[in-house]
Structure 1
Amino acid sequence: MKLSVKLFAGFLLISVLFTAVAIVNFRLSEAVIENTQWVSRSQVVVRNSASLQRNIIDMETGLRGFLLNGNEKFLKPYFQARDQMPALMQEMRNFVTSPNQKRKLDDIARYQQRLEKTFAEPLIQMKRGQDTLMTERQFDAQLETLVLGEQIMMDSIRGAFKDFNAYEYKVRGERSARLNESISNTRYLSTILTILSVVIGLSWAYYITRLITNRIMKMVTLAEQISRGDYKTQIVDTSNDELSRLSHSLNRMSATIDETFTELDLKNKELDQFAYVVSHDLKAPLRGIEVASRWVEEDMGTQLPANVQEYLVMMRVRVHRMENLINGILALARIGRTSQVEEEVDVNELLSEVVDLLSPPSGFYIDVQDNLPILHTVRIQLQQVFSNLISNAIKYHDKDKGHISIRHHETDEFHVFSVADDGPGIDPEYHSRIFVIFQTLQERDAMESTGVGLSIVKKIVELQGGTIWVNSEPGLGSTFTFTWPKQSGKDQKFL
């Protein structure tokens, strides 16, 4: 299975789980909302039922007060409660949904109307004395009958309310239990699904991360082995996904590098053999020419014409130049091809040794900055750079006296050294040319030079990871500046 398919499958699985969580929560929340609304409506119904009962009690109390003392003020609560009854009854009907409850409301309404028409209003009229045709005994008997009927009707109404409220409390209790159960189920299922989604998501993410990390670490290991020179190592990858293509590419790269370095090693061996042959086979005839020229001088003695003697001297000079040129070419070819040990190098001490070896003419003063750093580097390479730059400053000076100064400063990554002289200077158009092998700015007969020295300096500096450049104008001297990289914080400042 491709890696992209695995990633998409994991994303799809997590999306499905979270969608399921959302749907389940929505369904459960609907049940919770429905039960909550029903409980709230039931509370309104019970509250209105209590209000209806209070109104009926107010009617009963007002009626009995009036019957006891005949004061019309006692009828005020009766009429107020009677007038409020239709609105309360209608509101009750709007909230009641159960057919059983609706029938009980109809019974209560019918009992209330019967109480009002059959008993309450006749009692009020009798008390007001509107019926004057009755004898006192008839009146008392009629009054007692109406009061008894009114009490029976009130008991019926109370019984109806009791049944109504009992049923409402029972249903509300069931609904409250269902509400609590809905809330509990919502919490439980939501928690389970959420935890399941998180666990599956994290597990899949961990699986994909480990999968990719392990594959990448194999590639990193391969790269590190290649950097250490093990070019035959290969990654075993049978997944056949996108990273497999990268693994195969790295394997091909490793194999190609191995083939290239094997071929390069053969070429280097051939070059070493060639250099040895050149060094041996060319130097031997040159030495023979020099010896032969000296034999001619010795055999001819004073009979040797002056011009021939001059030619022989010129011949030996050219032979020495050729030998120096061969040595310079060999030195340039060998730079960076042999491993050399790094060590702690005190640059001040190194420059003292270089100046002593060069033995500058008495008219030249070499000014070396104090407190130069201690570097962890290859001593012979840094020595060769300073030796070539200082010797060039002396060799190409146009006067018998000169001043050469060596300075240093640091950047975040490099030590920066400069070798400045007060010689004839170099035209800017030749600044890049002087670092090319065999290039000199003076005739070889006027100044003995192989044209290899600055090429060697440039190659050494660049192999170290630095750069070299020259700042110069004709008649204003020259300043050669080169950078030498710091080695992993090992360099120290010598105080």
Structure 2
Amino acid sequence: MNLSTKLFAGFVLISFLFTSVAIVNYRLSEDVIANSNFVTDSQNITRTSASLQRSLIDMETGMRGFLLTGNETFLEPYFSADELLPSQFNLLKEYMREKPEQFRRIKQIEALHYKWRNEFAELLISEKRKEVADGIESRGITALEHGFLVLNEEGKRITDQMRVYFKAFNSIEYEVREKRKGRLEKSIADTRRISTTLTIFSVLLGLGWAYYITRLISRRIMKMVSLADQISYGEYKIQIEDDANDELTRLSESLNRMSSTIDKTFTELDSKNKELDQFAYVVSHDLKAPLRGIENASRWVEEDMGKELPSHIQEYLMMMRVRVHRMENLINGILALARIGRSHLKEEMVDVQALLHEVIDMINPPAGFEIHLPERLPHVEAAKVELQQVFSNLLSNAIKYHHATTGNVVISYAEHEDMHEFSVADDGPGIEEEYHDRIFVLFQTLQERDAVESTGVGLAIVKKIISRNGGTIKVTSTVGKGSAFTFTWPKVKLAEA
């Protein structure tokens, strides 16, 4: 199975689980909402029922007060309740539309109320009002025309029957409400338990699948990183074994092919380098042999002719030997430039102060030239012969290309976060800005070769050594006031491929 297919399958599986969790939670929440709505409706029903009972009591109390005192003020709650009762009955019947038994009880209570109102309360209130209007002093309820209804407790029987119906009505409502309340609590608990279980399962499955994919990918990628590291350290024959047959397998195969190609290329390059070394040795030997022959021949001519040799011929012979030495130096310079980086030189901590004293002693500056060193110079990690060659070339050039027989060369040093910075400054003729880059090019010189003995290789060697070690070199100069060659040398050597 391809890696992309595995990733997609995991994504689909996790998406399916989370969708399932959402659907289950939705259905459970519907049950919770239904039970919650039922409990809310039941509470509204009992509140309406209690309100209806209070209205009936208000009517009964107001009627009795009026019958006993004849004071119309007692009828205010009677008539207020009488206005509310129709809407309260209608609201309660609306709640009970799908509950036939409870609906029937409300209808019975309503019928009893209208019977009590029309056949008992209204008759007595009307008779009491007539008695008050006629100015008859209160004679008691039994003196009224229909006072016997009170004596035979007709009204009490009706109100007692309504209370019985209300009690049965409320009892059923409370019982059903408790059941639905229990179902509501159970549905809430089920919702929490099921949704929590499914969510934890989905998260664990997602984490497990992510861990599996991460381990699968990271383990194989680390193999590739290890291969790349080993290649960077020169182990080109290393190969990755991967039989998963997916996208990373094809990448591993590409890296294996790359490793094989690099190994083949470096093998061929090493062979070519050996051939070039051999060729350079042979060519230098074959070129130097005729040069030495020319020099010897010129000396033989001088020895054989002795004083008979004309002066201009002696000058020609001397010029010939100078050209021969220049050619020999040029060959040595080219060989030195070609060999930079090809041989593995030992790295060590070099005392630059001591190194410069050795270089100055070796180049033996002529009288009139002074080389000034700073009080403190660092210890630098380098191949001693390379750093020696850099300073030797820069100091030799500062003296060789000076326009006077006396001069000063100043070596300075500055330390940076990750670099050492050295500067070799002279008070010579200076270099025009247009030549600042040119002087580092092979075989380039600023003066005629006959005026100053030069091969044009020295600064090219300096730049190659410094660049190879991870540093930079630049020149700053003012014509007539001298030049300064500034180069950097890294504190931590760059890893070589």
Q: TM-score, normalised by structure 1?
A: 0.89
* Residue of structure 1 equivalent to 2:38: 38
| Aligned partner letter, 1:262 | T
- Matched residue of 1:106: which SS? helix
Q: Tell me the distance in 2 between the aligned counterparts of 1:227 and 1:328.
A: 31
* Residue of structure 2 equivalent to 1:477: 482
Q: Tell me the distance in 1 between the aligned counterparts of 2:445 and 2:452.
A: 9
Q: Tell me the distance in 1 between the aligned counterparts of 2:312 and 2:83.
A: 155
* Residue of structure 1 equivalent to 2:111: 110
* Residue of structure 2 equivalent to 1:24: 24
| Aligned partner letter, 1:325 | L
Q: For 1:194, which of 191, 194, 199 is the aligned residue?
A: 199
In structure 2, relative to structure 1, the CA distance for the partners of 1:62 and 1:440 (3 Å cut) is: closer
Q: Tell me the distance in 2 between the aligned counterparts of 1:358 and 1:137.
A: 151
Q: For 2:317, which of 300, 312, 316 is the aligned residue?
A: 312
* Residue of structure 1 equivalent to 2:4: 4
Deviation digits for residues 155-213 of structure 1, max 9, x if unmatched?
Answer: 22111111111111111112111211221122112212221222222222222222222
1:260 paired to 2:261: no
Deviation digits for residues 335-368 of structure 1, max 9, x if unmatched?
Answer: 1111112211222222111111111011111122
Is the 2:420–2:491 Cα contact (8 Å) retained in structure 1? yes
| Aligned partner letter, 1:431 | H
In structure 2, relative to structure 1, the CA distance for the partners of 1:451 and 1:149 (3 Å cut) is: same
Counterparts in 2 of 1:358-369, with a 5 A limit?
Answer: 358-369=363-374
* Residue of structure 1 equivalent to 2:165: 160
* Residue of structure 2 equivalent to 1:442: 447
Q: For 1:390, which of 387, 395, 408 is the aligned residue?
A: 395
In structure 2, relative to structure 1, the CA distance for the partners of 1:140 and 1:302 (3 Å cut) is: closer
| Aligned partner letter, 1:52 | L
In structure 2, relative to structure 1, the CA distance for the partners of 1:325 and 1:165 (3 Å cut) is: same
In structure 2, relative to structure 1, the CA distance for the partners of 1:110 and 1:266 (3 Å cut) is: same
Q: More deviation in 73-82 or 202-211? A: 73-82
Q: Percent identity?
A: 62
| Aligned partner letter, 2:107 | D
Is the 1:123–1:143 Cα contact (8 Å) retained in structure 2? no
Shift of residue 137, structure 1, vs aligned partner: 11
Is the 1:418–1:479 Cα contact (8 Å) retained in structure 2? yes
Q: For 1:356, which of 361, 370, 376 is the aligned residue?
A: 361
1:179 paired to 2:180: no
1:229 paired to 2:234: yes
Is the 1:466–1:484 Cα contact (8 Å) retained in structure 2? yes
* Number of aligned positions between the proteins: 485
In structure 2, relative to structure 1, the CA distance for the partners of 1:43 and 1:147 (3 Å cut) is: farther
* Residue of structure 2 equivalent to 1:416: 421
Q: For 1:463, which of 456, 468, 488 is the aligned residue?
A: 468
Shift of residue 107, structure 1, vs aligned partner: 0.7
Is the 1:126–1:143 Cα contact (8 Å) retained in structure 2? no
Q: Tell me the distance in 1 between the aligned counterparts of 2:146 and 2:286.
A: 163
Q: More deviation in 165-174 or 343-352? A: 343-352
Q: Tell me the distance in 1 between the aligned counterparts of 2:116 and 2:464.
A: 123
Q: CA RMSD in A?
A: 2.8
| Aligned partner letter, 2:4 | S
Is the 2:425–2:485 Cα contact (8 Å) retained in structure 1? yes
Is the 2:24–2:195 Cα contact (8 Å) retained in structure 1? yes
Q: TM-score, normalised by structure 2?
A: 0.89
1:298 paired to 2:299: no
Q: For 1:239, which of 244, 250, 254 is the aligned residue?
A: 244
| Aligned partner letter, 2:424 | V
| Aligned partner letter, 2:85 | M
In structure 2, relative to structure 1, the CA distance for the partners of 1:141 and 1:205 (3 Å cut) is: closer
In structure 2, relative to structure 1, the CA distance for the partners of 1:138 and 1:321 (3 Å cut) is: closer
- Matched residue of 1:391: which SS? helix
Q: More deviation in 181-190 or 317-326? A: 317-326
Q: More deviation in 345-354 or 77-86? A: 77-86
Shift of residue 388, structure 1, vs aligned partner: 0.3
